[in-house]
Structure 1
Amino acid sequence: MNSQNDTSRLPITAHGAEGPKAAGLYDPAHEHESCGVGFLVHLKGQRSHKVIDDGITALEHLEHRGACGCEVNTGDGAGILIQVPHDFFSHVCAQEGIRLPAPDHYGVGLIFAPKNKRAQREAMRLLQNIVEEDGQHLLGWRQVPTDNSSLGATAVAAEPDMFHVFIGRGEHIRNLDAFERRLFVIRRLFHSALDRGDVKQAASFYVPSLSAKTLIYKGMLIASQIREYFPDLSDPRMASALCMFHSRFSTNTFPSWKLAHPYRMISHNGEINTLRGNVNWMRARESLFESDLIPDIQRIM
């Protein structure tokens, strides 16, 4: 038999197609389609820049799981989620006159904002009022350095300005989990005020993350652009014990900056097709919500 046509020795994958044999951690029986998603974690919780660097390298190797349009340099979305890098922020914030408290005693938010400076100032005042009314302390703002030189025209046209906001923990907050819940309330109140149109171009604002534990860097990027787009991520002081990464393939939704993953709690590899039904079911029950941990939960409905 002609060896070029002899396929009898090739294994059969879970989908019935010929493919490679199981080897090491790979088993063809486990193959399935998805966006590019994964995570790295140090099992003993040791923070390092290497975890972030390796996470981005892994993300770059998942570029085939993402997508781009006619412009090869405009992607559907890519990003990472890491722990709040205290050593990095204490250094860069000191340069901008922002004094940070100890870890776990402040939260960091990533804010997407329109280019309109007046709208930015209005939103900053709005958020400061919400923070102070909640008994927390707004410590300052930092514009996130970005380099869009590798981005396509479509991504640049929709590109937001990005800011880090630093919120200090109020003296009455007893622990980190309680502080996380107050940051959740603050974010929800901020978005509710934006939904009411309390500031100009309100629809262009978005808060990808606001937490004392985790921080997101993401955008309408392809995987290979994230390292260059966010210079922060190459700073050796940027350290984390975990890195969740995602390269997006947008199928039933348009690409956008805010729809890039990771989200605040998850990254997923497809559409949640029951989303609208889930939202409607929850809204129908909002009047019944009550919580011992968030006594003012009705304010954020």
Structure 2
Amino acid sequence: MLRLLSRRLIAAGVLLVVITAVTFLLTSLVPDPTLHVLGATASPEQIALKRHELGLDRPVTARYLSWLGGAIGGDLGVSWFTGLSVDATIAARLPITLSLALIATAVSAAVGVGFGTAAAIRRGWLDRALQAVSALGFAVPGMWIALLLVIAFSIHLRWFPATGYVPLAEDPGGWARSLVLPVTAIAAGSVAAVAAQTRNAVAGVLGQDYVRTLRSRGLPRHTLLRHVLRNAAPAALTVVSLQFIGMLGGALVVEQIFAIQGLGTLATSSSSRSDIPVVLGVVVVGVLIVLAVNLAVDLLVGWLDPKARRR
């Protein structure tokens, strides 16, 4: 397991450097960001002074290495517009986006695994219903689901707020109510994917020779199911991790619909005004989250399936 961990950490480090280097190169191709900072009426002397102040008159490679050194030390720079630390700005928004993505992942995993396992065991109408729901979940965009939820449960029924986010420490009940519709919109499509993958994985394990042998020996149903689920778990864990990564992207879109001040709105506003340090900070945090989730899933799969440790 230690060997697997070391390989994954080395790969994660290389990937992080490559992604940040490519992102830094792409941000250097945008039009002069000092025009956004100073405004269209700025004089050439003011623009030149601001470019020197921001380090934009230096070569791209030198700027990237300087930024990378600071990032390794935990300093992601300062916003060009607010003057606030990028670390503090992201830290204030990150819990909101993580709340959406983590709760949506938990909901989709619980419902999808339960539904998929039941469909694989019982088959019949439940299996056909799963296939229909899966097709519908893949076809319907999350943005459309979010709008329907707002119309039905906020405008007409007035059960949940249409916009905004309430911090957990401020009001736990209000926090839960503010997350119901966004989490449902994000998790709706993922439930179908997790259920379909779980159904296929469990059905494949049920068809194995050793399962038939255990059945013929009269092994109790709950014990047999535990063996089946353990062997089907790696496939289910993989799809759940992929769905979590997808739900991070979905959260960025849903935050716009529900006016939630998370990383999505921060990334959108920063990109529109070319606030490069904040954009890079959001990219770094997003990549770190994805790498951490993938590493955790790899370790879990390695624990469940010893053969995966040698891959």
TM-score under structure 1 length normalisation: 0.27
Higher relative contact order (CA 8 A, sep 6+): 1
TM-score under structure 2 length normalisation: 0.26
- The structure richer in helix per residue is 2
